[in-house]
Homo-oligomer: A and B are copies of this chain.
Amino acid sequence: MTVATEYGTSNVADRLWEGVQPEAARRLLVSGLGLFAAKGFHGTTTRDIAARARMSPAALYVHYRTKEDLLFQISRIAHEAALAAITPETSGPGDPVRQLKAAVAAFTAWHAHHHTAARVAQYELAALEPAHFRVVAAVRLTIERNFRTMIERGVAAGEFEVSDVPATALAILSLAIDLARWYKPGSRHSPEELSELYAALALRMVRSGG
């Protein structure tokens, strides 16, 4: 049995919400996630979410103040997990080539495994209340800064040659984040294959001699 089967995408995706307690709150969150991904935040009612979780409409308000609060929990957890996925690769010193490669691989694998969570987290940002948006925006900025810093360190070390660091960082992030749009389990490439390929493409994007 391969690792890809043993930890299939749905299992990996489910583990993202393990910290959401109690179990009823988690069931509602997973229900909301599926509906937001399929019909959008504005196309989903709290009644739909409760029904899909096999709970009463009122039960939702025990765990979430509003539908937007449930979206915020999804978005916050997903963004923090995406940041956590790259943190071991980006923290501290080390060879910027190896760091950037590992970070792009981890960020890509995360977005393939969690394509549904990523879709909702990325596409429904405008539905967040200002205070919630600020929390999520801070995590996004940290992710962007981590990529910029790796690129800058590679430039300083003479390994990379980049005309516009912030825009190149955004372009590298786009590779992985856009998986939320098109990746599906059963796509031609596994998350691991995409990781390896995108890490190599990202290195080509920044290395000198292009």
Name A's B-contacting residues (CB within 8 A): 38-44, 122-123, 126, 163-164, 166-168, 170-171, 174-175, 177-178, 181-182, 188-189, 193-194, 197-198, 200-201, 203-205, 207, 209-210
By beta carbon, the residue of chain B nearest A201 is B205
Quick one: which of B170, B181, B203 contacts A210, CB cutoff 8 A? B203
- Whether B43 and A123, one on each chain, are in contact in the complex, defined by CB atoms closer than 8 angstroms, is no
Quick one: which of B168, B175, B200, B210 contacts A174, CB cutoff 8 A? B175
Min CB distance, A122 to chain B, in Å?
6
Give CA–CA (A167, B108) in the complex, Å.
13
Number of copies: 2
Chain B residues near A198 (CB-CB < 8 A): 171
By beta carbon, the residue of chain B nearest A168 is B201
Give CA–CA (A177, B179) in the complex, Å.
11
Give CA–CA (A32, B49) in the complex, Å.
26
A-B contact pairs, 24 of them (CB 8 A): A38-B126, A39-B42, A39-B43, A42-B42, A42-B44, A43-B43, A122-B181, A123-B123, A123-B181, A164-B189, A168-B197, A168-B201, A170-B182, A171-B198, A171-B201, A174-B174, A174-B178, A177-B178, A178-B181, A200-B210, A201-B205, A203-B210, A204-B210, A210-B210
